Amino acid sequence: MRKAVVVLIVWSCASPAFGQSTYVAAGVGADIFRPSGVEAGGFDESRGGEAVAWSLRLGTAVTDRWGVEVAFTRPSEIDREIRSGYPVPLLASQVIPGVVIPPTTTSPIFESTVRRSRRSSTIDAIAWVAQPVGSRVDLIYLGGVAFARTVEEIDFSLTRRTAVLPIIAPTSTRTTTYDAGPVVGLEGRLALTDRARLIPGIRLHGTSSQAGGGWLVRPSVALGWTF
């Protein structure tokens, strides 16, 4: 009797595992970064932009309606260049023997160039809920936590507009930030075959002030395979 009870308990605990559906998916999409910024006098210091992003996902269905997933996304760099000109007044006077020429003010233009590049790679740990909308289509609501590694590089140079060589040596800084923030999204899973799935969707990441502050939007299309 005891053996029968033990076998029944083990079978009941293990049986949901046979009903689970594990899947992998690879996707391509975009990184659309919209940070907080300041714009004044025509100067925009925003670090926002767009880039292509690639993703790999591994997930499993715990029940028929919900499951969990881990996703890794690595985008290309978001590049931005800002050029600004600054007139610097110089007082010059010329004196010719016997003739005094009043001083004249000339304003050579000095140009600063700031190049920014930003890449935010993330690992998403999420849970999802499926809502069937047809025999071969599921609507997926998802939410969780995204762990991000953001690398930002800034190059600065100052040159005279009519000169070739820079006035000061170019400077470069590289900042790496590790951060965690919320992620929510909406996807569709379209059954192409019994195992292949087409997964269009969009995910929204929240970033802290340390990582630039703002929103990171990631629309994508993925191709998945269910085991």
Q: What is the pLDDT of residue 14?
A: 39
AA identity, residue 122: T
Interacting residues of 85 by C-beta distance below 8 A, sequence separation 6+? 109, 110, 111, 161
Domain ranges of the chain: 19-36+51-82+122-150+180-227
- Give the chain's length: 227
Interacting residues of 117 by C-beta distance below 8 A, sequence separation 6+? 77, 78, 79, 80, 152, 153
| Mean pLDDT, residues 155-183 | 75
Q: What is the pLDDT of residue 38?
A: 58
Higher-confidence residue: 7 or 210? Answer: 210
Q: What is the pLDDT of residue 172?
A: 81
Q: What is the pLDDT of residue 1?
A: 45
End-to-end CA distance of the chain: 37
- Which single residue is written with the structure tokens 């502050």? 213
What is the pTM for the complete model shown? 0.70
pLDDT tens-digit map of 149-161: 999 888 887 776 5
Which pair of structure tokens corresponds to residue 200? Answer: 């269009």
pLDDT at 220 over 60: yes
Query: What are the residues facing 4 on neighbouring strands?
Result: none
| Mean pLDDT, residues 146-175 | 76
Q: Which CATH architecture fits 19-36+51-82+122-150+180-227?
A: Beta Barrel (2.40)
